[in-house]
Structure 1
Amino acid sequence: MTVSKPARKPAARTPKAQPESRSARALPRPRLPPPAPAENPGHPAVPEIIVGFDEEAVANEGIVALAACPELFVHDAHLVTLVPRAHPGLALARAMPTLRIEPLPSPRLRELLSRSARWLVPQSGNGAQHVVSHVPKWVVSGIASRRHWPGLRSLTAVVTAPVLRPDGSILATPGYDAATGLYFAPREALPTLDDNPTQDDARDAAETLLESVEHVPFAAPTDQAAWLAMVLTPLARFAVAAGLPLCVVEDSPRSRWSDDVITDIAILIGAGPPAVIDADDLVPSPRRSIDALRENGESIARITNGTTRSAIAWRRIHEVLQRTRASNGFVWFASTARALRDAEMNRFALTARCEGGSMTAHDGDAFIRDRTTSDLLVAGLTILRAYQVAGRPDMRLTRWAGFEQWSAVVRAAVVWCGLPDPVTSLGQTPEPTNATDAAAADLVVGWSELAAAFPGGATARQALDALQQAPKDQYPRLRAAVEVFAPGPLDEQGTATRLGRSLRRHRHDVHEGRSLVLAGSGNQGNRWAVRASSPASPA
């Protein structure tokens, strides 16, 4: 028996979707709603930029839209932004993060362009209709490759402490200052500044600053005034708007103050930890070092490895800074342990000398415990502001060629507070200090001890060989002089070169009735001898 299967009912057919007609596909896509009115803070109004064939005009509109971006600046012909950074020298509980100037990456520039405007492209087939688009890549690259962006804020530098403006006022409000192009990012809260201080206030402020270094044995009151001028120079560097002198702190031959105390105090009061540049790197290739400072927005630098350099070497460094215009807006600090007796040094350097004494870590930190850094900073600003409020009285100072503007702002303010002129008499050889005389006397008298071994005079190399071969207790005065004027291993050629320069520098100096004379020269170098002389006729 065959069982027949029930017949299946045909499944209901679903009608196929009709293909979209070309006319339907040609319908315009709906445009995004226009931006909300400006009254709605959640949807601020932004300009609309239509992307056309005139690429320069489109890029110009993009630059106009970028003017509303608070994080975008122009620095040294580059688009830059400010990035927070933690500085190892600011490990204080109350310290705030500092800001670093960095180039603006192209992806970030594209994001800012997208945020600053609505970019529209014409719809094909209907030029009157536009659709929202991404920022074209050629717009980003075109704007980034320019070197001039009208309407964008120019950034001169980032400062972490209040400074004196060119108009004589104090920049003390955090943020961007349109008048100077400076961005003030304070490291810590500061006391309120008096906007109208008097001359008495300025003199009290000068005493406060000098009390902070009363443990430092300055050679003379002029050196105290020079140190105070070094403190004020970083605070007034943007008000000067011209070349600044090289600030050199000179140690006595028997002490070491400059590296650990004086220069650090001056820079700490002015702008915090400085950038460091080796003198050997600065002279042969100054552009690289100076460009790195400008890219980082630095304005204060410290030249290291210059302790044993002569005045001629410092003059060469100054010429490099002048040639590259690096002294305009930059404050350069340096330290030396030599006796700079070259009168030419006074033409380009502000020098403060220390004399004798012994330094300990306790002494170096005393000023921090007695007075806070903010108090010292306010004292420096008070001096500068009070002199401006008084109308910058004419102090009748001797003209310092190349530093007239600095003299009118900083040097005159120091003298106005009752201190001596911080600049040594121009064109005259500075008077040597007692320690300088002692070291030079050790060199002259100690050289006479070599007469028995070298009756015809000795070269610098021969003298060092004699010291190396003789017992440690022999030639004590000459050894003391070599430690001051030519520190280093006795068998190195650099030590002999430095000693030879010192011999030339102190030639004809009369000490204890004796003076150095050139006895002859040959393949081994100059031979030096000592003869009896009187102070009246050092020839």
Structure 2
Amino acid sequence: MTDLSPPDWMFQAGDPGPAPDDWDYAPAGNMSPVRAGAGPAKAQENTDDTVAHLMRQARRPIIEYVDCELPRIVNMACKALVDAGVPLYSRDTALVRPVTIRGTARGNLVRSDGVTILVPVTKAGLVEILTAAIDWRRFDGRKGEFKPVSCPPVVAETILARQGDWPFPQLAAVVTAPTMRPDGSVLNVPGFDCDTGILFASDLNWPTVPAAPSKAAAQTALADLRDLIESFPFVEPSDRAAALAMILTAIARPGLPSAPMFGVSAPTPGTGKSKLVDIAAILATGQAASVLSAPREEAEMQKQIGAVLMAGDAFITLDNIEYPLRSEFLCQALTQASVAVRVLGESKTLKLPTSATFCATGNSLRFAGDLTRRVVLINLDARMERPEERVFKRDVIAVAKSDRVRLVTAGMTLLRAFIAQRGPRIVPALGSFEGWSNLIRSALMWLGEADPLGNAAKVRENDPERERMLSILAALPRGRSWTASEIGKEVQSNGLLSDALFDFMERGNLNTRRFGHFLAKNERRIMEGRAIVRRGERQKIALWTVEDLGLDPSDPDDF
């Protein structure tokens, strides 16, 4: 059930609406009856005001509409909305409002905290908001006086047409649980946080997280989180550490500049991959993870991820992946603070924050290309033919929902303790994810957990692109220079070379242009002590060779 009633969107915390004495009123014809104020409060909560109540208020701000004063009237209307605390936000050049999706309470069932999504503000919706918040007047020539009217649609149209030139705050993320700011402090008060652009939307009672917990308190908090996931069949201690890292990342993600993707893999269906991901999602958002398919086409991948980023989803899962996952757009979303997303059905793009936690699940999950260094892998193995028939001591999903407040508080306590006690950072940090490594990874290892990146080498080794590259390096001529065209001739008589370059073959011949692009893209990429190196030109055609760099693949100091 979608709750679109005014308590969810008309005003924010701590602002019950316009106070009568705060408004300046003017006689008919004066265009300045707007409230003075400093803008939205740092943290505000929803109130129980309704549209009907607002309409009955005798002293709402008055705006007397005159056609020739449209720019000034639009400015006044925007200021009135900001001063009234109406929760409208900018997302780059889009105007959005938060909407909370709630279930229906039945009997003694305690309603879980609803998930809050962002929806675009339409002209009709904005007319309604403006009409509820402002007392509009228009001159009646027959009566010779101003009379009450609804907000003129042209005002809403003009506001929307300004596309980012608004006084409304830029919204970076929506959370439904306490989270960590970039400076390491905890955002614990529901409402909009002006310093970070994070909207904390929750009706639950959240306890205050201590500013400086002890290491003993952090160990107790870690035990609570470990107890939640103890029934999962982790293969190695590093897999459990990676699962804990996924949980901590999910609740602290808005304060991190970037975070890796978490991949949950198992050899057999029914091992609990989706359940483990849902636990992290429930703690972070109150709901199971938003599940997407993983299309092979890059354009479709961009559309799907872009749509959920525009909606403000904080936890995104690519589910049941059956092929090696690769995506340039996904790589960007994981490492960059924002990405350009094309708005569906429109010829425009938005630059949106990427403050979501990304996960992927699959049987014998594999990653390809640049994505391999952006993944934290979690391996599960129940060592059973039918793991779905296992009987658990308790329903961990139900526990995550019922104990969400306690468990999220435990996670925040753990991270605050690491910061306050100046826990050591693991060196070297994970490239492109230094902030995540210095906080999430280091905090877990500070408390004695294994390295969450313990499976990093396995992820790289299982990369099909790496396998292809190694086979090509092994098949290409060594000890001499050659051109792409010369290799094209040798393919006809060299079965090993033909098999290695199969992806570049078309109708029995080597596509030398595509092969040349491959050589240029992978120039000097070292794999097991060898690399493709350019050796000048012959008649303006690039010469290549496979160079043995004399490095020992088993010696980490050589790489």
Of the structure 1 ranges 286-295 and 49-58, higher mean CA displacement relative to structure 2 is found in 49-58
User: Relative to 1, partners in 2 of residues 1:316 and 1:136: Cα closer, same or farther, differing over 3 Å?
Assistant: closer
Residues 95-121 of structure 1: CA deviation (Å, up to 9, x unaligned): 244433223332342343345445566
CA contact (8 A) 1:87 1:97 kept: yes
Query: How far apart, in 2, do the equivalents of 1:217 and 1:250 lie?
Result: 11
Provide the residue aligned with 1:100 in structure 2: 117
1:366-377 aligned within 5 A: 366-367=395-396, 372-377=403-408
Alignment correspondent of 2:260: 245
Q: Aligned residue for 1:113?
A: 130
Cα distance change on mapping 1:341 and 1:149 into 2, 3 Å: closer
Match of 1:263 among 268, 277, 281: 277
The CA distance in 2 between the partners of 1:274 and 1:282, in whole Å, is 23
Identity %: 24
**1:352 counterpart residue number:** 378
Matches within 5 A, 1:284-433: 284-306=299-321, 308-310=322-324, 313-314=325-326, 318-319=330-331, 321=333, 324=339, 328-338=354-364, 340=366, 346-358=372-384, 359=387, 360=389, 362-363=391-392, 365-367=394-396, 372-390=403-421, 392-424=422-454, 428=457
Residues 418/187 of structure 1: CA separation in 2 closer, same or farther (3 Å cut): farther
Query: What SS class does the counterpart of residue 437 from structure 2 fall into?
Result: helix
Q: Describe the shift of the 1:357–1:67 C-alpha distance in structure 2 as closer, same or farther (beyond 3 A).
A: same
CA distance in 2, matches of 1:109, 1:331: 31
**Aligned equivalent of 2:481:** none
Equivalent position to 1:155, from 161, 166, 171: 171
Which runs of 5 or more structure 1 residues have no equivalent in the other structure? 1-29, 437-499, 508-517, 527-539
1:88–1:292: structure 2 CA closer, same or farther, 3 Å change rule? farther
Contact 1:249 1:258 in 2 (8 A): no
Once the 2 structures are TM-superposed, how far is the Cα of residue 354 of structure 1 from its aligned partner? 2.0
Pairs aligned (count): 412
Alpha-carbon offset, residue 123 of structure 1: 8.8
Structure 1 residues 344, 115: closer, same or farther in 2, change over 3 A?
closer
Moved more, 45-54 or 63-72: 45-54
The code of the aligned residue for 1:225 comes to A
User: Do the aligned partners of residues 118 and 328 (structure 1) sit closer, same or farther apart at CA in structure 2, a change above 3 Å counting?
Assistant: closer
Please name the residue that 2:188 is paired with.
Answer: 172
Aligned residue among 199, 210, 226 for 1:183: 199
Alpha-carbon displacement from aligned partner over 1:345-400 (angstroms, at most 9, x marks no partner): 6511011112343444632844357773333222212112222323x544232132
Whole-angstrom distance in 2 between the partners of 1:284 and 1:431: 25
Tell me the equivalent position of 1:275. 290
Deviation at 1:236, TM superposition (A): 1.2
Rounded Cα–Cα distance in structure 2 between residues aligned with 1:504 and 1:36: 67
Pick from 214, 220, 231: which aligns with 2:230? 214
Q: Deviations over 1:10-33 (max 9, x none)?
A: xxxxxxxxxxxxxxxxxxxx9699
Q: CA deviation at 1:220?
A: 1.6
1:419 Cα shift?
A: 1.5
Which one has the largest radius of gyration? 1
> What is aligned with 2:156?
140
CA distance in 1, matches of 2:465, 2:312: 38
User: Following TM superposition, by how much is the alpha carbon of 1:418 offset from its aligned partner in structure 2, in angstroms?
Assistant: 2.0
User: Could you tell me whether the CA contact under 8 Å between 1:154 and 1:181 is conserved in 2?
Assistant: yes
Are 1:230 and 1:247, in contact at CA under 8 Å, matched by a contact in 2? yes
2:517 aligned partner: none
Counterpart CA distance in 1 for 2:126 and 2:291 is 32
Partner in structure 1 of residue 15 of structure 2: none
User: Alpha carbons of 1:75 and 1:275: their partners in 2 closer, same or farther (altered >3 Å)?
Assistant: farther
Distance in 1, Cα, partners of 2:34 & 2:293: 57
Range with greater deviation from structure 2 (365-374 or 75-84)? 365-374
**Per the alignment, in what secondary structure is the counterpart of residue 67 of structure 1?**
helix
